[in-house]
Amino acid sequence: MAAIPRASVLFVCVHNAGRSQMAAAWLRHLSQGRVEVRSAGTLPAEQINPQAVTAMSEVGIDLLGLTPRVLTPEMVKSSDYVITMGCGDTCPVFPGKQYRDWALQDPAGQGLDVVRRIRDEIRERVGDLVAEIDRNAHAADISGRRADDAA
């Protein structure tokens, strides 16, 4: 039986400096390599939000050395799930992708206490996403086994 390809997730926000970077880091951490993870922004900032770096370091996740990246249509095309966070209509839409819009407060200009709350909300949503991806992979694995058994 052929291996089921890893799911791929793209997180998009305007500056790719806070929400999308935290979400991508959480997904890398929680999925333990089971999911391909990307993040980008429609108007990338010059650097990651320092408050996001601090908030994530408090939970043992390092954002240092990451840089915001510009969103490209190819990123969207090559992703199974596209999670947007406040980028509105500027994100390209392609058929066959699973789109989600997470209404999350923007951490830009916020104090560390607010950024911590945003971090924790993102962690909860990413945990739910990992569970969904795992369920879908399990269902695909069972379907694949049934098809192999019938052959």
DSSP string, 14-54: SSSSSHHHHHHHHHHHHHTTSEEEEEEESS--SS--HHHHH
pTM exceeds 0.85: yes
Q: Mean pLDDT over all residues of the chain?
A: 88
* φ/ψ (deg, to 5) at 82: -120, 115
pLDDT above 90 for 41 = yes
CA distances (Å), origin 94, targets 73, 99, 137, 144: 9, 9, 22, 26
Q: Which of 7, 10, 13, 118 is catalytic?
A: 13
In a domain, 74, yes or no: yes
Looking at residue 79, what is its pLDDT? 94
In a domain, 23, yes or no: yes
Residues 138 and 140: their CA atoms lie apart, in Å, by 5
CATH number of the domain residue 75 falls in: 3.40.50.2300
Looking at residue 144, what is its pLDDT? 56
Looking at residue 146, what is its pLDDT? 47
pLDDT band (50, 70, 90) for residue 147: very low
**Sign of torsion over alpha carbons 104, 120, 139, 33:** positive
In a domain, 2, yes or no: no
Read off the pLDDT of residues 82-141 as tens digits, 9 standing for 90 and up: 999 977 666 667 777 888 999 999 999 999 999 999 999 999 999 999 999 999 877 766
Clarify whether 128 is annotated catalytic: no
DSSP 58-96: TTT---TT----B--HHHHHT-SEEEEES-GGGS---TT
pLDDT above 60 for 36 = yes
Q: Which of 23, 24, 87, 104 is catalytic?
A: 87
Cβ atoms of 87 and 10 within 8 Å: the answer is: no
Domain holding 58, by residue range, is: 7-150
- When divided into structural domains, the chain yields a total of 1
In a domain, 1, yes or no: no
Mean pLDDT of 4-11: 84
Clarify whether 13 is annotated catalytic: yes
